[in-house]
Copies of this chain bind each other. A is one copy, B any other.
Amino acid sequence: MTKTSVAIVGASGYAGEELLRLLLRHPAAELTAATSRQYAGQAVGAVFPRYRECQLPFINPDAEQIAGRAEVAFLALPHGLAAEYAVPLLTRGVKVIDISADFRLRDTEVYARYYKTPHPAPELLSRAVYGLPERYADVIRTADLIACPGCYPTSVILPVAALLHAKLVETTGIEAISLSGVTGAGRKVDLPYLFPECNESIRPYAVTGHRHLPEIEQELAVAAGVPANAIVINFVPHLLPVNRGILSTILLQARPGTTAETAVECLRAAYDGKPFVRILNPGELADTKHVTMTNMCEIGCAFDARTGRLIVSSAIDNLTKGASGQAVQCLNLSMGLPEDAGLN
Interface of A toward B, CB cutoff 8 Å: 14, 25, 49-50, 52-53, 173, 175, 177, 179, 181-183, 187-191, 193-205, 207-208, 232-234, 236, 238, 240-245, 247, 249, 251, 278, 280, 285-294, 298, 302-307, 309, 311, 313, 315, 344
Contact = CB atoms under 8 A, between A and B. Distances in A.
A251 B313 contact: no
A240 B289 CA distance: 11
B202 A182 contact: no
B302 A208 contact: yes
Given A290-B49, A306-B232, A249 B199 contact: no
Given A195-B241, A202-B287, A208-B302, 19 more contacts: A49-B298, A53-B278, A181-B202, A182-B194, A187-B196, A193-B195, A195-B195, A196-B243, A200-B243, A200-B289, A202-B288, A202-B289, A202-B315, A203-B287, A204-B285, A208-B311, A234-B307, A234-B309, A236-B311
A234 B251 CA distance: 9
A315 B49 CA distance: 12
The copy count of this chain in the complex is 4
Contact of A195 (B53, B182, B202, B289): B182
A322 B251 CA distance: 26
Nearest to A203: B287
A200 B49 contact: no
Q: Which 4 A-B residue pairs are closest in the complex by CB-CB distance?
A: A201-B289, A203-B287, A195-B198, A202-B247
Nearest to A275: B53
11 contacts: A49-B290, A179-B179, A179-B240, A195-B197, A202-B240, A202-B288, A205-B285, A207-B304, A208-B311, A233-B307, A236-B249
Contact of A182 (B196, B242, B247, B293): B196
